[in-house]
């Protein structure tokens, strides 16, 4: 089956610093990757859609300058949380779809970000 690897699984950073989260499709090409944020016991909230070779599309209310997304290749998308604050602490999940197969999405294992 298709595998999406997300790294790191956990990260603790100091307030004011930046942290990068990677999302890789290991055995397929993903033209589109999605980034979600999930608060405890809540649903997944879509933050942005990342398309290879073009700018990401952000959902309403998501600060694009704070959550920088780069999708430089068909197998890698990154989310950088800039100038992190404690309120950015959350669980971040990426997902990817296969090239030319716009149905099932495969999810990474998620990243728990704690800003202290």
Partner 1 sequence: AQTVTQSQPEMSVQEAETVTLSCTYDTSESDYYLFWYKQPPSRQMILVIRQEAYKQQNATENRFSVNFQKAAKSFSLKISDSQLGDAAMYFCAYLDGATNKLIFGTGTLLAVQP
Interface residues toward partner 1, by CB under 8 A: 32, 34, 38, 41-44, 46, 49, 91, 93, 95, 97, 102-105, 107, 109-110
Nearer to partner 1, 28 or 91 (CB): 91
CB of 44 to partner 1, least distance (A): 5
CB of 66 to partner 1, least distance (A): 21
Q: How far is CA 61 from CA 48, 68, 79, 81, 101, in A?
A: 11, 14, 17, 15, 29
Cβ contacts of 30 within 8 Å, gap of 6 or more: 4, 52, 74, 75, 77, 96, 97, 98, 99
- Token pair recorded at residue 96: 């990817």
Nearer to partner 1, 14 or 41 (CB): 41
CB of 65 to partner 1, least distance (A): 22
Nearer to partner 1, 84 or 94 (CB): 94
């Amino acid at each position: 089956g298709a595998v999406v690897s997300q790294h790191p699984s956990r990260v603790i950073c100091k307030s004011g610093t930046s942290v990068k989260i990677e999302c890789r499709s290991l055995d397929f090409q993903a033209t589109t990757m999605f980034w979600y944020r999930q608060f405890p016991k809540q649903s997944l909230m879509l933050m942005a859609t990342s398309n290879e070779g073009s700018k990401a599309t952000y959902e309403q209310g998501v600060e694009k300058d704070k959550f920088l997304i780069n999708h430089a290749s068909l197998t890698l998308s990154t989310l950088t949380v800039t100038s992190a604050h404690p309120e950015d602490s959350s669980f971040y999940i990426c997902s990817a779809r296969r090239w030319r197969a716009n149905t099932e999405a495969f999810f990474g294992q998620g990243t728990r970000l704690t800003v202290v």
